[in-house]
Amino acid sequence: MRELNEKCAVVGVFGVDKAALIAHLGLYAMQHRGQEATGISAANGARIATIKDRGLVSRVYTDESLSKLPGCAAIGHNRYSTAGEDSILDAQPIFARYALGEIAIAHNGNFPNARAVRAKLIEDGAIFNTSLDTENLVHLIAKSHENKLQERILDTLSQCDGSYSLLFLSRTKLFAARDPRGFRPLSLAKLGDGYMIASETCAFDLAGAKFIRDIEPGEMVIFEEGKEPRSVNFAKEPIRKCIFEHIYFARPDSFLFGESVYAIRKELGRLLWEECKTNADMVIPVPDSSIPHAIGYAQASGLPFELGIIRNHYVGRTFIEPLQEIRDLKVKKKLSPVKELICGKRLVIVDDSIVRGTTSRQIVSLLREAGAKEIHMRIASPTITHCCFYGIDTPQQSELISHKMSVDQIREYLKADSLRFLSIDALRKAARCKGDFCLSCFDGEYYHDPANNSVSNAA
């Protein structure tokens, strides 16, 4: 159940006629990664044109607006934003003119050192339009003493430590870079005579592009007309791919970090059964994100899989509600139990994670009201005890229920008959982790000093 939010999706298209139209399809496929605002910049060799606005992809772009984005190169962005940061100014791509011409930038990730970098830039006279970490990049590129854009970008990245999948568009070139730890995904595909780059491979499927490979951590791929893409390996660090992409951020039909998201989610469910066997009448997912996990649990256990909770897909986005009562109503509007199915039954409810616990509590309450005899919550990830500083919107640590309560206290708070979380070892096993995944929100082991972080302005 979505209580954490991905910050963004990025898409790039190069060497393809009507590139903006293709970018729009990619953003459409990746709407789940950000619903607050969307934007596309397109380059036709002479200039860069940009359209961006608040709202969903289906609302923002029309045939007419896309026709105003001519050219064979484009980058696009879907943005999720936290309350108070939904200014249109914070929509991406960010566009700027500087000494070498025009540039547009789209970013998925977060720079923990962004505040310090921005403070120094302001001290040196820079003026900022947005609250985005990404705007630091514009200033650093503009200030760099290098003669070529490629060198200016590399100079800039050397000063910005953090998580990023970044696309830079000039009038004639496109640069796609992934941070040296590889936190956020970024993949490359072939489309006709050109190329497509996207946060998730589901974007390629909709556009008809053929997946080639992931862009490697610490790699920048440069696209230039008439030339094969060139690759530069600019930095090397221990790999820390975000394991939450596999748990629930990515779409299940995406192929991410070299694995099928759907297959890994089913494996999480299977291992959850191995670790937490339960006598029950049926297995029910919390829709939609936990369906593959619940299928894995049900298949391993031999228990019937049932859609005992129905999700209303037509509820408008109500965003982060400040009042608890409104949050509770939000869950009720979205999820509804199938009373005839669950009345008098012992239920295993499979969810992908618990963040604040308010949603899970409401779900248990709905099922009780519908007559469930027993409710056993099974969570296909370990307890989330720490905040994310690498591009995922988590609440303050004090709001994380697993930070302030033991598992048994959480069970009491939820009013469930039993509650079990997947172990970190099982999570590692399911993701085929060879020490190359980030687990910071579960184990609190950050690669940087969290006392010096900035999380509020992530992209």
Which residues are identified as catalytic? 8
For ligand SF4, the binding residue among 243, 256, 261, 342 (CB under 6 A) is 243
To ligand SF4, the closest distance from the beta carbon of 389 in angstroms equals: 7
List the structure tokens of 309: 């909770």
Q: Tokens 């409104």 sit at which residue?
A: 326
By C-beta, is 152 or 293 nearer to ligand SF4? 293
Q: Tokens 């939450």 sit at which residue?
A: 244
According to the binding rule CB under 6 A, does residue 441 interact with ligand SF4?
yes
**Buried b vs exposed e over 12-44: b needs ≥16 C-beta within 10 Å?**
bbbbbebbbbbbbbbbbbbebbbbbbbbbbbbb
Q: Which helix (H) or strand (E) holds 152?
A: helix 149-157
According to the binding rule CB under 6 A, does residue 268 interact with ligand SF4?
no
375 to 404, contacts with ligand SF4 by CB under 6 A?
388, 390, 392
Q: Is the link from the previous residue into 450 a cis peptide, with omega within 30 of 0?
A: no
Interface pattern 275-314 for ligand SF4 (x via CB under 6 A): ----------------------------------------
Sorted by sequence, the CB contacts under 8 Å of residue 342 that are 6+ apart come out as: 282, 284, 308, 367, 370, 371, 372
User: Quick one: which of 132, 138, 159 has its CA closest to 36?
Assistant: 132
By C-beta, is 291 or 427 nearer to ligand SF4? 427
The Cα 79–Cα 458 span in angstroms is: 10
Max alpha carbon distance in the chain (Å)? Answer: 73
Residue number with the shortest CB distance to ligand SF4?
388
The Cα 380–Cα 387 span in angstroms is: 19
To ligand SF4, the closest distance from the beta carbon of 156 in angstroms equals: 22
The Cα 268–Cα 352 span in angstroms is: 9
The pair phi, psi for residue 58, each rounded to 5°, is -65, -25
According to the binding rule CB under 6 A, does residue 20 interact with ligand SF4?
no
To ligand SF4, the closest distance from the beta carbon of 171 in angstroms equals: 34
Q: In 302-420, where does DSSP find H-type helix?
A: 324-334, 339-342, 358-369, 401-404, 407-414
By C-beta, is 209 or 247 nearer to ligand SF4? 247
To ligand SF4, the closest distance from the beta carbon of 261 in angstroms equals: 14
According to the binding rule CB under 6 A, does residue 440 interact with ligand SF4?
yes
According to the binding rule CB under 6 A, does residue 244 interact with ligand SF4?
yes
For ligand SF4, the binding residue among 61, 80, 168, 183 (CB under 6 A) is 183
Q: Is 181 helix (H, G, I), strand (E, B) or coil?
A: coil
According to the binding rule CB under 6 A, does residue 250 interact with ligand SF4?
no
According to the binding rule CB under 6 A, does residue 164 interact with ligand SF4?
no
By C-beta, is 5 or 360 nearer to ligand SF4? 5
Q: Is 385 helix (H, G, I), strand (E, B) or coil?
A: coil
To ligand SF4, the closest distance from the beta carbon of 307 in angstroms equals: 28
To ligand SF4, the closest distance from the beta carbon of 353 in angstroms equals: 10
List the structure tokens of 436: 């190359």
> Which residues would be at the binding site for ligand SF4 (CB under 6 A)?
183, 242-244, 388, 390, 392, 438-441
